[in-house]
Amino acid sequence: MDLYYDPVVNEHVSSPMGLIAPVWYLAPQRPDVARAAWELAVAITDLDGDGDPAGLDDPGFATLLALQTGEFDDGPVRDRLWQVFDEVHEPTWDHARGEFTFGFRLDEPHPRGQLNARAMAGWVCTPGAWSRIFSGPDDDRFDQPTVIGVDFPEVALNEARWDGEALHLAARSRTAPSDGLRTTVTTTALPPEGTWTLLRPDQTTVSIDPKGGSVEIELVADGGHYELRRT
């Protein structure tokens, strides 16, 4: 099966792993075909059986399966797959850099970006989440409030969510969360109607005046929940 087709040079690039590689592309378009291909891979590896899972030593295949399993399962298959990752693919915390990666027994000085990206996408994905990005309603998500100016990689947002009335934010330092690191982010496209209040993790509040729909907010990067609410 084609992994993709390039019409400019009329080139069909075939999948190196049969159906398993295109599952991620098929899921939003032909979920029946995608699920059938994923179930075949699960059966081949015996992730749905009682024996020891097989064929997951190859990091390329294993990470593709991890990527797709998050879309299709949130039960025993997913649990067994991640048990294999924990036992086989060298999970590593670099506490000095604030990074978690898999080494995949490649004996390389730097973690493989593509393989780790697949694995982490599968870890955070919940059933149907990937397909809903494409098949969900044609809403106004691109006109909703947006967070910019994050001091990445020193700081990452583990929550940035607009619920229609409030923007929920939480930031985390890549080092110890107890270091009290303060950071600022900017929110844009805030609705002009009404007044705005920022609720901090300690339940104190401060009035916010988003001139032109934009405002800079200071956060403590310890995972605490902030809520910018229209009142």
Average pLDDT, the chain: 91
Q: How far is CA 156 from CA 1, 139, 172, in A?
A: 38, 26, 5
Q: How many C-beta atoms lie closer than 10 Å to residue 196's C-beta?
A: 19
What is the pLDDT averaged over residues 8-15?
88
* pLDDT tens digits for range 91-134: 999 887 778 999 999 999 999 999 999 999 999 999 999 999 88
- Location of structure tokens 């890549």: 174
The length of the chain, given as a count of residues: 231
For the chain, first and last CA: distance in Å?
54
Q: How many C-beta atoms lie closer than 10 Å to residue 109's C-beta?
A: 5
Handedness of CA 73, 63, 100, 227 (dihedral sign): negative
User: Model-level pTM?
Assistant: 0.74
Q: What is the pLDDT of residue 178?
A: 62
User: Domains along the chain?
Assistant: 2-135 (no CATH), 142-230 (2.60.40)
Candidate from 32-36, 53-57, 92-96, 116-120 with smallest mean pLDDT: 92-96
Name 185's bridge partners. Answer: 217
